[in-house]
Structure 1
Amino acid sequence: MTERQPYRVVSRHPGFELRRYPAHLVAEVQVQASFTRAPLEAFRPLAAYIGGANRVRHPIGAGPATPDATGTTKIPMTAPVVQEEGERPGAYLVQFVMPAGSTAATLPEPVDARVRIREIPAQLAAAMRFSGRWTEKAFGQRATALGRSVTAAGLQPTGAIRYARFDPPWKPWFLRRNEVVLPVVE
């Protein structure tokens, strides 16, 4: 079973849950592509990284996984795969959440220069869960609704909206777990 990113539900509001996420690491790639193409273009380098396209930077047995004879490590897949808008128009960051307990010192170094390891600080965030297709329209409608619900609850957004996909592409669209997540001020 795929490990899911941990969080604690703080409260429930009309249209969303307020969650506390612990600090965690992500492997991310920035791509210049449409909303729909971005995860497809970022998937290959991210999958290669967790599949062993990396260099171990810690002694054997000191990290979340043991290196093989080539000095690389396979990292377990986790959920969700996260997408957020990048710094430039038309750019997106696509992120694989690293397994709980991973640290910058124990994760292997990516071989591909496009893959970056980054720490996301602990945060309070509003999240709206839904099932359905991975379209810009579906995520956009939920993002707009979440923003309105957050404002109506008297909370102030503090970061970029994140689009989270929890399931593989072969899972029927009506059974997929998707979320829009919006960091808010403490």
Structure 2
Amino acid sequence: MANTGQAEGTHKGYEMPPYTVDWSDGPRELRSYGPHILAEVRVAGGRSGAIQTGFSLLAGYIFGGNAEGEKIAMTVPVAQSPEADHWVVSFMMPARFTKDTLPAPRDARISFIQAPASRQVVERFSGLPETTDLASRAETLRTWATAQGHDIIAGPHFYFYDAPMTLPWNRRNEVAFTLR
């Protein structure tokens, strides 16, 4: 159990949301995230289809499918969270942008959200997680966090850091909950 301070700012050269690690024990961390901008879409249906559709829409936007035709750097992680009867898929926008300086999306399903500073409990794991595996990991983390006295206010959030061709044991995945 350690206070590990500032987290890395990139993963394999891709910009990540700003955060510090307040506490860690093995794969679990308590993180304090700084504010950042998310481009997100809401997709109905199952998790696998939602992440494919959401990723395609957001990738199209950053690869020049926006009003200015501007290419925007890829960031990590690709985030996915269940919400009622749909999934929210999001990409963090590079820190050099504000909501006012981002190119307008051509697809009305893409919206920009100013994510406020937050505190999250996060557990890192590798592999190719299936929906049932993610649900099990989320429930285990929720149970642990609650037993530790943490007040969960949102989540689970699932974070995926690596390209599809990355070998399963080299993948960085995370499950997280936002705390009060």
Give the structure-2-normalised TM-score: 0.88
1:37-186 matches, cutoff 5 A = 37-55=49-67, 71-86=68-83, 88-89=84-85, 91-185=86-180
State the distance in 2 between where 1:20 and 1:183 align.
10
Q: How far off its partner does 1:5 sit? A: 2.2
What is the aligned-residue identity percentage? 36
- After superposition, what is the alpha-carbon deviation per residue over 1:51-110, rounded to whole angstroms, capped at 9, x for unaligned? 11112xxxxxxxxxxxxxxx3211100000000012x32x10100111123210111111
Specify every segment of 5 or more residues in structure 1 that has no aligned partner in the other structure, as ranges.
56-70
State the secondary structure of the residue aligned to 1:99: coil
Q: How far off its partner does 1:13 sit? A: 4.7
- After superposition, what is the alpha-carbon deviation per residue over 1:134-185, rounded to whole angstroms, capped at 9, x for unaligned? 3112211211111111112111101121000000111111211000010001
**Given the superposition, is the C-alpha separation of residues 93 and 24 from structure 1 closer, same or farther in structure 2, using an over 3 Å criterion?**
same
Q: How far off its partner does 1:4 sit? A: 2.1
Give the structure-1-normalised TM-score: 0.85
State the distance in 2 between where 1:132 and 1:181 align.
16
State the secondary structure of the residue aligned to 1:146: helix
State the distance in 2 between where 1:115 and 1:40 align.
15
What is residue 20 of structure 2 aligned with on the other side? 8
Q: How far off its partner does 1:7 sit? A: 1.0
Give aligned pairs, total: 168
- Aligned CA RMSD, in angstroms, stands at 1.4
Which consecutive aligned stretches of 4+ in structure 1 deviate over 6 angstroms post-superposition? Answer: none
Specify every segment of 5 or more residues in structure 2 that has no aligned partner in the other structure, as ranges.
1-12
Is residue 32 of structure 1 aligned with residue 32 of structure 2? Answer: no
Q: Higher relative contact order at CA 8 Å, sep ≥6: structure 1 or structure 2?
A: 1
What is residue 21 of structure 1 aligned with on the other side? 33
State the secondary structure of the residue aligned to 2:39: strand
Say whether the 8 Å CA contact 2:17–2:34 is kept in structure 1: no
